[in-house]
Amino acid sequence: MGRKANRLSPFNITALALGMAFLYLPIVILVIYSFNDSRLVTVWGGWSLRWYREFFNDRAMLDAAWMSLRVAAVSATIATLLGTLAAVGLVRGERFRGRSLLSGMLYAPLVMPEVISGLSLLLLFVALNAERGFWTVTIAHTTLTMCFVTVVVQSRLASLDRSLEEAAMDLGCDPVQAFLRVTLPLIIPAIAAGWMLAFTLSLDDVVIASFTTGPGSATLPIRIYSEVRLGVKPEINAICTMVIALIAVIIVIASLVSKLSSSEAKSAAPL
């Protein structure tokens, strides 16, 4: 039987196991060492929450974390709005003049080295004489993350059955109503996933933020980066673990949302 050709070989299993270990072990080690009581990062001194307390007493670090959370929340929201609109235009707008320029501008930042995006935005802000700080970083992050939102929403929208919208319009909806009542509820999970992806990407960025922020408004990654350059500190382990925990919560919510929506879609299908 041909089945044989498709069976997992020991080689396949080894590759998978080693690959997953490679991807996850460093993070697991980091998390474990964040609970280490010892001041020396490499000596195990027993379990403790000491470095978490240290973080909550570190004014500069807390300010940076608060700045990052605000930038991430605001930029993810604007990016989700713009990215969704762009996806609707690209998928449902058929052919129009300038369509390939739009899709090019939305795809390029996905792979563009961050040093280029950061430098070019900074030069724009300087030319506009904009005061650098919260808003310039937020605009920069919006520009980058809306491209990711577009990709996520676009793929969902493209897989959607158009006849649903057409039926709604045959039944007397105008296009905007058809979109709001039929299309939007169906793509909400993708929009939510896009928002969360944008949020985590913004929370992660160090290069673009370094270029576009001003004095006195460092984001958390900028602070972490400057500390890391000086060497490993147990407090950084604790901060990183908290960021990982936050992102884990986001991932769980994202996967629950998509699971919920797919089961809804299944139950709706027979109707």
Partner 1 sequence: MSARRIFAQPARYAAIAPYLWMVLFFLVPFGFVLKISLSQTAIAQPPYVPLFDFSEGWAAIKAAFAQLSLDNFKLLVSDSLYISSYLRSLVVAVTSTLILLLIGYPIAYGMARLPQRWQAIAMMLVIVPFWTSFLIRIYAWINILQHDGLLNKVLLALHLVSTPVVWLSTDTAMYIGIVYSYLPFMILPLYATLARMESSLLEAASDLGASPLRSFWLVTFPLSLPGVGAGALLCFIPIVGEFVIPDLLAGSSSMMIGQTLWLEFFTNKDWPVAAAAAVALLVLLVPPLLLYDRLQRRTLGGAN
Could you say whether residue 69 binds partner 1 (CB under 8 A)? Answer: no
Nearest distance, CB of residue 44 and partner 1, angstroms:
11
Q: Does 104 bind partner 1 (CB under 8 A)?
A: yes
Residue 58 in the binding site for partner 1 (CB under 8 A): no
Amino acid at 110: L
Strands (E), the chain: none
- With CB under 8 A as the contact rule, which of the stretches 45-53, 55-63, 229-237, 263-271 interacts with partner 1? 229-237
- Residue with tokens 């949302």, as numbered in its chain: 257
C-alpha 251/C-alpha 258 separation (Å) is 11
Q: Cβ distance 240 to 61 under 8 Å? A: no
Output the smallest distance, CB 269 to partner 1, in A: 20
Which of 62, 124, 130, 257 is close enough to bind partner 1 by CB under 8 A? 124
Q: Using the rule CB under 8 A, is 134 a contact of partner 1?
A: no
Kindly state the smallest distance separating residue 116's Cβ from partner 1, in Å.
5
Q: Which of 29/49 has CB closer to partner 1?
A: 29
Is residue 131 a contact residue for partner 1 (CB under 8 A)? Answer: no
Tell which one of 20, 180, 184, 256 touches partner 1 (CB under 8 A). Answer: 20
> Of 9-17, 45-53, 59-67, 263-271, which part binds partner 1 (CB under 8 A)?
9-17
Q: Binders of partner 1 among 157-216, rule CB under 8 A?
A: 162, 165-166, 169-170, 175-176, 178-179, 197, 200, 203-204, 206-207, 210-211
Q: Are 121 and 143 in contact (CB under 8 A)?
A: yes
138 binds partner 1 (CB under 8 A): no
Helix (H, G, I), strand (E, B) or coil at 47: strand
- What's the CA gap between 76 and 73, in Å, rounded? 5
Does an H or E element contain 202, and which? helix 184-204
User: Token pair for residue 144?
Assistant: 């980058």
Alpha carbons 43 and 132: distance in angstroms, whole number: 42
Task: Pick the closest to residue 72 from 123, 7, 138 (CA basis).
Answer: 138
Q: Is 235 in the site for partner 1 (CB under 8 A)?
A: no
33: contact with partner 1 by CB under 8 A? yes
Q: What secondary structure letter does DSSP report for 36?
A: B
Under rule CB under 8 A, how many of the chain's residues touch partner 1?
A: 95
In angstroms, the CA 254 to CA 55 distance is 28
Binding partner 1 (rule: CB under 8 A), the pick from 61, 74, 121, 198 is 121
Residues 127 and 167: their CA atoms lie apart, in Å, by 50
Cβ at position 24, least distance to partner 1 in Å: 8
Query: Does residue 89 touch partner 1 according to CB under 8 A?
Result: yes
Q: Is 119 among the residues that bind partner 1 (CB under 8 A)?
A: yes
C-alpha torsion sign, points 21, 23, 27, 29: positive
